[in-house]
Structure 1
Amino acid sequence: QEKAGKAPGLVTDRKAELEQLDSVELHRRLSQVDPEMAAKLHPHDKRKVARSLQVFEETGIPHSEILHQQQEEEGGGPLGGPLKYPHACILWLHADQAALDQRLEKRVDDMLAAGLLEELRDFHQRYNREKVAENRQDYQHGIFQSIGFKEFHKYLISEGNCSPETSALLLEKGIQALKQVTKRYARRQNKWVRNRFLKRPGPNVPPVYGLEVSDLLRWEEDVLKPALEIVESFIQ
């Protein structure tokens, strides 16, 4: 786990207050105190712009400077600060993209079979229906931004207020959207691993051992046995 570029004692409510500002004004304020970070962030990315501005307000130090300090620590680099545990051995389970996509789609189907829709309906009725009625729903903060909720927004708000055919269509669109964002998130994770560890060799980068998991029928031969051998050798 890496340091997340956080300064201690930050007041999260201040970030929410900043996000109420107009995007242009918010970005203008950041440009005045941290032009380097402002140049990296799109003016419409209010969450990140507000976060960087909050860091400066609470610490008096530009967010970009804090990140540079972490990157310059022993074990740090262009993509972040040092790992929490310096003597790590990383086992990276990776699969062929087609196999991974199929597995992720099945995961969504399994979640639906296990009662995902019932859970979403209950959560929507308890915590989101009133916000939707007042046009103040927020899918950018807290649990509301989680993958698997906002994808079903149209289905949840229209359920019982439209024809069964329309409801079924909206449900299918939500399911397909969930599968797409899940696969997209997995791709970002793989890209991060490659950029963080595989493309920056050096004494401060821990060893990363790739284990092929495309064929689950070969789990013993391709994953379990080599993983045990790697860990045993690393410990010794």
Structure 2
Amino acid sequence: MREPLLAIVGPTAVGKTRLSLQLAQDLKGEIISADSMQVYKGMDIGTAKASKKEQELVPHHLIDIIDPKEEFSVADFQEKVDGLIPQIYNKGKLPMLVGGTGLYVKSVIEGFIFPEMETNWDLRESLEEEAKELGNQHIHNKLREVDPDLADKLHPNDLRRVIRGIEVYKQTGKTTTHFKRLAQERKPRYKALKIGLKRDRESLYRRINKRVDLMIEEGLLEEVRELYNKGYHRDLISMQGLGYKEILAYFEGEYDLKEAIRLIKRDTRHFAKRQFTWFKRDKSIKWFDVDRYEFENLLIEVKKMVNNKFRT
């Protein structure tokens, strides 16, 4: 039997947290965060984590699970969620996947097949050095020799994924495209309902700007300063998160605070647009325009859809 899974997705600041908290209380659900930045400890304000009070209302999973110096991959996420969903379901609760990291949501619902392999750090470093000496296109050409389909999908400047594609082939003798094809042929992994939240662009952008101002008021600078003083530098994946990289650049004198805040707002707006573009490609998502609903009416409509999917 496939376990039921409710996914609440959409761009940042659209209103996923409020809706998911109330749904989880009404439907006896537990929330699994599908946010690639909320896994990191000590990064609370800039990642808009549910507050401690909110987390006390509803059990939350995959928040504050690793140090900002550690790496956390899509494969790691899928493995952890695959363990959590049956645990939650067997308690008589509804598993709820909530967040805006589209690749994370896709990995769980559609399922990626990841090759069994150890990370080859020597190969990665060697290819990175070659890229510095001969250019990214040179490494991209190497990928094309072994996995032309993947090469067609990746820009030469997406060096991390280009190198990963070469590494997969070197380690397993199979291409990334091969593993993706296996995943596509697999049956659906969960009985999933995907609810998408959207807003008018100007409405969403106002909410983003307001959220950034509130983050500054709540102590984002102090949060980033504490991480900075602990030695978390700008090259870490965690420190590339929105709000963190801009404040770190401000600390290092690249621009003033006013410019840092402007950049956070701008980059977050751009990020939200990319998120919506990603989710819009998924025709199975049931969309709700939040601006067109009173919250209680939105709640009623979504619960009706959930009951029709899972209670029949």
TM-score range relative to shorter protein: 0.7 to 0.9
- Counting only pairs closer than 5 Å after superposition, residues 128-207 of structure 1 correspond to structure 2 as 128=232, 138=235, 141-158=236-253, 170-196=256-282, 198=283, 205=284
Seen in structure 2, the aligned counterparts of structure 1 residues 63 and 153 have a Cα distance that, compared at 3 Å, is same
Q: Distance in 2 between matches of 1:58 and 1:94?
A: 41
Find the structure with the greater CA-based Rg.
1
The CA deviation at 1:52 is 0.9
**Residue in structure 1 matched with residue 27 of structure 2 by the alignment:** none
**Residue in structure 1 matched with residue 287 of structure 2 by the alignment:** 210
**Residue in structure 1 matched with residue 130 of structure 2 by the alignment:** 21
Q: Contact 1:27–1:43 (CA<8 Å) still a contact in 2?
A: yes
Q: Distance in 2 between matches of 1:149 and 1:52?
A: 29
Q: What amino acid sits opposite 1:176 in the alignment?
A: R
Q: Distance in 2 between matches of 1:117 and 1:170?
A: 13
Seen in structure 2, the aligned counterparts of structure 1 residues 5 and 175 have a Cα distance that, compared at 3 Å, is farther
**Residue in structure 1 matched with residue 114 of structure 2 by the alignment:** 6
Q: Contact 1:14–1:54 (CA<8 Å) still a contact in 2?
A: no
Q: Contact 1:30–1:49 (CA<8 Å) still a contact in 2?
A: yes
Q: Distance in 2 between matches of 1:233 and 1:24?
A: 51
Q: Distance in 2 between matches of 1:147 and 1:20?
A: 28
Q: Distance in 2 between matches of 1:215 and 1:13?
A: 51
Seen in structure 2, the aligned counterparts of structure 1 residues 101 and 10 have a Cα distance that, compared at 3 Å, is farther
Seen in structure 2, the aligned counterparts of structure 1 residues 69 and 90 have a Cα distance that, compared at 3 Å, is same
Tell me the SS of whatever aligns to 1:89: strand
TM-score (norm: length of structure 1):
0.73
**Residue in structure 2 matched with residue 36 of structure 1 by the alignment:** 149
**Residue in structure 2 matched with residue 161 of structure 1 by the alignment:** none
Moved over 6 A (4+): none
The CA deviation at 1:175 is 0.9
Q: Distance in 1 between matches of 2:203 and 2:145?
A: 48
Does 2:295 correspond to 1:219? yes
The CA deviation at 1:104 is 1.4
Identity %: 29
**Residue in structure 1 matched with residue 230 of structure 2 by the alignment:** 126
Q: Distance in 2 between matches of 1:50 and 1:220?
A: 48
Gapped runs of 5+ residues in structure 2? 1-104
The alignment covers a number of residue pairs equal to: 198
Q: Contact 2:124–2:167 (CA<8 Å) still a contact in 1?
A: no
**Residue in structure 2 matched with residue 70 of structure 1 by the alignment:** 183
Q: Distance in 1 between matches of 2:120 and 2:262?
A: 33
The CA deviation at 1:118 is 0.8
Q: What amino acid sits opposite 2:213 in the alignment?
A: D
Q: Contact 2:113–2:182 (CA<8 Å) still a contact in 1?
A: no
The CA deviation at 1:38 is 2.1
The CA deviation at 1:215 is 5.8
Per-residue deviation, residues 64-122 of structure 1 (Å, max 9, x unmatched): 222222223335xxxxxxxx42x212222221111111111111111111110011122
**Residue in structure 2 matched with residue 115 of structure 1 by the alignment:** 219
State the structure with bigger RCO (CA 8 A, min sep 6), 1 or 2. 2
Tell me the SS of whatever aligns to 2:197: strand
Which has a greater percent of strand? Answer: 2
Seen in structure 2, the aligned counterparts of structure 1 residues 123 and 189 have a Cα distance that, compared at 3 Å, is same
TM-score (norm: length of structure 2):
0.57
